Amino acid sequence: MESNATLESPSAGKFAAPYPGAKEMPQWTTGELIKPPPFTWKNWFAMLGPGLVMGGAAIGGGEWLVGPKVTAVYGGALLWLATLSVLGQVIYNIEISRYTLYTGEPIFSGKFRTLPGPRFWLVAYLLFDFGSVFPYLAANAATPVATLIKGGVVPRPEEVASDFWLMKGLAYVIFLGALVPLLFGGKIYHSLRVVMTFKLVVVFGFLLLLAAFFSTPDTWIEIGTGFLKFGSVPVQVAADIPRVRGGNIDNIFVALAEGRGFPRIDFTLIGSIAALAAIAGSGGLSNTPVSNYTRDQGWGMGHHVGAIPSAIGGTNLALSHVGCVFAVDGESLPRWRKWYRHVMRDQLVVWLPACFIGLALPSMLSVQFLPYGTETGDWTAAVMTAGGVRDAVTAASGAGLGNFCWFMTIFCGFLVLAPTVSTSVDGIIRRWVDVFWTSSGRMRKMDTKAIKGVYVRVLVGFSIFGLVMLSLNPGKLIVYATMCFNIALGFSCWHTIVINSTLLPRELRPGWFVRIALSLSGVFFLLLGSLSVYQQAGPAVLAIILSAVAIALFLLISLARRTAAGK
């Protein structure tokens, strides 16, 4: 189900539009909640929505760069952190779409509607979202391309000046090239769906081929059970003890039950481990575009609001400055429940499996094809497994197939990273353009079709910033980008509970199970984020960040009732 090509005028006058939250935000309009399309096996592909785009982005930097880096050292024992992360994120994705189904607004607009108002949340979320602006994916995507250009020789930019400049030049080209899909296709959302469909088919197809014919059952047992080994942690071992699989892992619950006390956790790779959990799925505020795509797909009240058009081919598209809500009655409530189930189906059937498969398959590469304990440099993570794949396939099936699999492994590394730049950039721009489109009095005076020009101008500005940031080391970029991802997502989980429990009618609000699950998800992400910041930036920076989170959380709790009353 997709929204109409032109912006429809909602049928107003059925009931008085509510005016919840901060008065600086405009009042909602009113309209009728359209019937959801019937779901059948014949139209299932047409019914795919945000889960497909976000599922394609789910196998990205964390899965391809950080996942194998962690599993190469610790095996699959720490993948349980990714399990908790993905489960927390899928609940979060469904809940931010709950708000969009009722209002036609993305979740960021809902955040700005809560007290103390848009000015406060502007500052807060600019700080939370800071890590997203670092283009670490483009920097790492240069490695596979450079390897192919050099005839299979992995570049050594730290030692060879020509390799350094080759890598930098390729990073710039990849970054700019990844922005092209954001300029074509009518709806930007349509272009991203095409790109991500191609990526999923090629990458998953090749990795499943390797998994089926060139991996062992032991590898899949280790990875599969790793997703369920809750409480396993890396521990300190003596330097003279040989590395064996599982020798540097202990389980907190087992150690306490056996009376051995709390394990001595090894924090050497805590930054990478936290980054794995941060980016497993989407991570940080990168999940928030799910609600934007729900609107652009025309689901629920997004049918009345419109979509962001691309610069080329989107002449008939417009985007309303304000959301549109419906009266909850005997006719609309059953429709609402069907729409909500539709969102759940999209997330649980498409996005959730894509996250686990997208993490399991790259982890299979490192567990199966790399010597246990392998460590990688900042520039080589994107191609670290290609040599091991070639050697294993050559030994089993000959040099021809081995060389082909080597090429495909490198190509998949590029295909995993480069297209994800498109969704990452679009997500950053989209959430801020959308919220200013609604919250700024000056922008609300603009024509609804002017959203195209606003998006393109912000895209140009972000491009310039990204080119400057690409001068940094790619290994450092991913640390900077993910250091606060978990803290941002943790707080956003709590903020979403407040939004859906105060701005929505009582009949549409989440139940206690969802609220508790989302609250615990927030605690989980905040703890991981705190460990990462402490290890990377020190206790002083962590204290400042947690103080800011505590202040914002206090305001959320103390002002929630006032937000619900519209005071």
DSSP codes joined into one string, 58-77? HSSHIIIIIHHHHHHHHTTT
Set out the domains of the chain in order of their start, with CATH numbers: 29-565 (1.20.1740.10)
Which amino acid type is present at position 269?
L
Q: What is the mean pLDDT of the chain?
A: 78
The structure's pTM equals: 0.82
The answer to whether residue 500 scores a pLDDT higher than 80 is: yes
pLDDT in tens, 342-375: 889 888 887 888 788 877 877 787 788 877 666 6
pLDDT in tens, 414-429: 777 777 777 778 778 8
The answer to whether residue 463 scores a pLDDT higher than 80 is: yes
Strand intervals (E) in 229-340: 232-234, 249-251, 324-325
β pairing state of 324-325 and 232-234: unpaired
Predicted pLDDT of residue 42: 61
Predicted pLDDT of residue 547: 81
| Range with top average pLDDT, 91-95, 259-263, 472-476, 530-534 | 91-95
The answer to whether residue 37 scores a pLDDT higher than 70 is: yes
Q: What is the mean pLDDT of residues 403-417?
A: 83
Q: What is the mean pLDDT of residues 325-342?
A: 92
The answer to whether residue 510 scores a pLDDT higher than 90 is: yes
Predicted pLDDT of residue 41: 62
Q: What is the mean pLDDT of residues 512-516?
A: 93
Predicted pLDDT of residue 87: 92
Confidence of residue 512 (pLDDT cuts 50, 70, 90): very high
Predicted pLDDT of residue 58: 60
The answer to whether residue 256 scores a pLDDT higher than 60 is: yes
Of 266 and 49, more confident: 266
The answer to whether residue 290 scores a pLDDT higher than 80 is: yes
Predicted pLDDT of residue 462: 81
Q: What is the mean pLDDT of residues 221-231?
A: 89
One-character DSSP codes across 290-314:
HHHHHHHTT-GGGGGTB-PBPTBT-
Predicted pLDDT of residue 4: 42
Q: How many CB atoms are located within 10 Å of the residue 110 CB?
A: 29
- Rounded Cα distance, 434 and 431, in Å: 5
Q: What is the mean pLDDT of residues 557-565?
A: 60
One-character DSSP codes across 47-116:
T--HHHHHHHHHSSHIIIIIHHHHHHHHTTTTTHHHHHHHHHHHHHHHHHHHHHHHHSS-HHHHHHHSTT
Q: What is the mean pLDDT of residues 222-235?
A: 88
Predicted pLDDT of residue 67: 67
Peptide bond preceding 116 in cis form (omega within 30 of 0): yes
Predicted pLDDT of residue 97: 94
The answer to whether residue 225 scores a pLDDT higher than 60 is: yes
Predicted pLDDT of residue 243: 52
Confidence of residue 13 (pLDDT cuts 50, 70, 90): very low
- Rounded Cα distance, 195 and 30, in Å: 35
- Rounded Cα distance, 375 and 353, in Å: 28
Predicted pLDDT of residue 1: 45
Structure tokens at 524: 């989980």
Predicted pLDDT of residue 432: 82
Structure tokens at 402: 């081995």
Q: What is the mean pLDDT of residues 86-108?
A: 93
β pairing state of 324-325 and 29-30: parallel
pLDDT in tens, 161-182: 888 888 888 888 888 887 777 7
pLDDT above 90 covers a percentage of the chain that reads: 13
Predicted pLDDT of residue 247: 61
Q: What is the mean pLDDT of residues 125-149?
A: 75
CA distances from 43 to 1, 47, 48, 193 (A): 10, 6, 9, 17
pLDDT in tens, 294-307: 888 888 998 888 77
β pairing state of 232-234 and 249-251: antiparallel
Confidence of residue 473 (pLDDT cuts 50, 70, 90): low
| Range with top average pLDDT, 39-53, 66-80, 418-432, 449-463 | 449-463
The answer to whether residue 527 scores a pLDDT higher than 90 is: no
- Structural contact between residues 376 and 384, judged by C-beta atoms closer than 8 angstroms: yes
The answer to whether residue 46 scores a pLDDT higher than 80 is: no
